[in-house]
Structure 1
Amino acid sequence: MTDTGDSEPPADGFPRDEPWVSLFSGGKDSSWALYRALEAGLPVERLVTVHPEGDSYMYHTPATDLTALAAESIGIDLVNVHPDDFEAAAATDSGAQGDRELEPLERALEGLRDDLGGLGGVTAGAVESEYQTSRIRAMADRLGCDVFAPLWQEDPRELAGAMLDAGFEIRIVQVAAGGLDESWLGRPLDREALADLERLNEEYGVHLLGEGGEFETFVVDGPHMERRIDLEFERVWEGTRGHVRVTGASLE
């Protein structure tokens, strides 16, 4: 199995004679992996969103219901996975829970491989999480396909800058870290926000891309999208953490 962390999309090394699937939450990391795959000419024919109930070790959790609008704007069919065994898995240790959380996704990909007549690979947006990446790689090995992981072990500041340079419009939809207060909910992740995050990184250790779960995002526009997503929302603050409650969403 091959994966990449190169600074430019690879010109070769990945199969293009079979369909690809993008693991897609609508957040900046999975959106960037998808964008880079499309730029590299990988034939992405499906987006797959897992909708966990409650907290998850493996998956981005907030605002995943918005991926239908994102998929419509991108122009690639979406497959939704609604696992029903996360709650039962929560009673076990974190490693076992991660394995259990992966099972519904793997079943969905097996079905897609049959429906599409093959599976060349999957895209993944992990930056530093060996916990997630090792499981996705092992799953891909079982499925006999590749993994395209263009963010893996790249410099967070350079990645964030590349996203903004490409024209990504990113909104923060959840925060859970010291230094990130209610004012961050719904805030654009722009260059001013990055400068603030760099200061918070020095003071609190907040990751510039929120890789430790400090914050979660949703991409409302980008070069891979035909139409921008307009969001209306309310802020929900719970003392030390919070999220946006989307009250309206539409394609402009």
Structure 2
Amino acid sequence: MFTIENYISVSTPKKALFNWSSGKDSALTLYKILQNSDFKIEYLLTSVNQQYQRISMHGVRVELLKAQAKSIGLPLKIMQIPEMPTMEVYENVMTETLTELKTQGITHSVFGDIFLEDLRKYREDKLATLGFEGVFPLWKIPTNHLIQEFISLGFKTIVVCVNERYLDKSFVGRIIDQDFINDLPENVDVCGENGEFHTFTFDGPIFSEPIKFEIGEIVYRKYEKPKNEDSSNTACDTNASDAFDFGFWYCDLIELK
């Protein structure tokens, strides 16, 4: 029997937080979830390197992250994470953050993951212990389809980090367009889902105005293997035996007012 109580329970959107990396997959995921009436995004959640005040893995300045959130029109929640944190440290910060957000009635956590099964299972298992559910709008959609949709929607993104295991310096600082896609080696996923590259999205349908910046210095950085510590216990992707044999090229972006 249909009642007004049933109607209310069905039509009320679920409160969710959005795991925002500042890059293209996040931007496309947010675009899709904002069109889904089942969910209401309460916060953008981003982890930031506490020492350098830059987005973890991407190396983007916090000022540009805040500019994105302002243009998108959603509150930003920043998690301060130490340099090369252990899994225990990372999970403690995440648990504290989610526990706080849960008191606001938030029950779901949205991710831009596409096909990494182990990562999704890890996220879902950890979320379940805190009473959250994971949402994955891009899951199993072919990445070549996603990148073409991203471009056709009018999104614009710049490559801010490349892993030299897969790509050389010439790819960092480039705008992702058809030429960029055509230049990628065959072993590199077009969305960089395996960590080949990271991006900063500065324009598109989720923004009220483009994010203004100029390209700064391009730098090379190589991370040292943690001393007296199992590298597989870090919160970074360091499970491969040669993970610390490769460095990263970063392109600094400087906000323009």
TM-score, length of structure 1 as denominator length = 0.77
Contact 2:164/2:249, CA 8 A, preserved across alignment: no
Offset from partner CA, 1:20-62 (integer Å, 9 cap, x none): 11011101112222221101132101111111469xxxx6442
2:67 match: 69
Q: How far, CA to CA, are the matches of 1:163 and 1:222 in structure 2?
A: 9
Aligned-residue identity in percent: 25
Counterpart residue type for residue 100 of structure 2: G
Contact 1:22/1:48, CA 8 A, preserved across alignment: yes
Aligned counterpart for 1:208 among listed residues 183, 190, 209: 190
State the secondary structure of the residue aligned to 2:74.
coil
Q: How far, CA to CA, are the matches of 2:193 and 2:50 in structure 1?
A: 20
2:142 match: 155
Q: How far, CA to CA, are the matches of 2:144 and 2:138 in structure 1?
A: 12
Instruction: Report the CA distance between 1:120 and its aligned residue.
Output: 3.1
1:183 match: 170
Is the helix fraction higher in 1 or 2?
1
Structure possessing the higher radius of gyration over alpha carbons: 2
Contact 2:158/2:176, CA 8 A, preserved across alignment: yes
1:78 match: 76
Q: How far, CA to CA, are the matches of 2:166 and 2:249 in structure 1?
A: 12
State the secondary structure of the residue aligned to 1:174.
strand
Instruction: Report the CA distance between 1:152 and its aligned residue.
Output: 1.8
Instruction: Report the CA distance between 1:15 and its aligned residue.
Output: 8.2
Change (3 A) 1:192 1:16: farther
Aligned counterpart for 1:29 among listed residues 25, 30, 49: 25
Q: How far, CA to CA, are the matches of 2:25 and 2:181 in structure 1?
A: 15
The answer to whether structure 1 residue 112 and structure 2 residue 101 are counterparts is: yes
Unaligned runs of 5+ in 2: 1-9, 222-245
Q: How far, CA to CA, are the matches of 2:110 and 2:181 in structure 1?
A: 25
TM-score, length of structure 2 as denominator length = 0.76
2:208 match: 226
Contact 2:58/2:160, CA 8 A, preserved across alignment: no
State the secondary structure of the residue aligned to 1:119.
coil
Change (3 A) 1:48 1:188: same
Q: How far, CA to CA, are the matches of 1:88 and 1:121 in structure 2?
A: 25
Contact 2:47/2:81, CA 8 A, preserved across alignment: yes
Offset from partner CA, 1:106-125 (integer Å, 9 cap, x none): 321210121x2x11311101
Instruction: Report the CA distance between 1:212 and its aligned residue.
Output: 1.6
CA-atom RMSD, angstroms?
Answer: 2.4
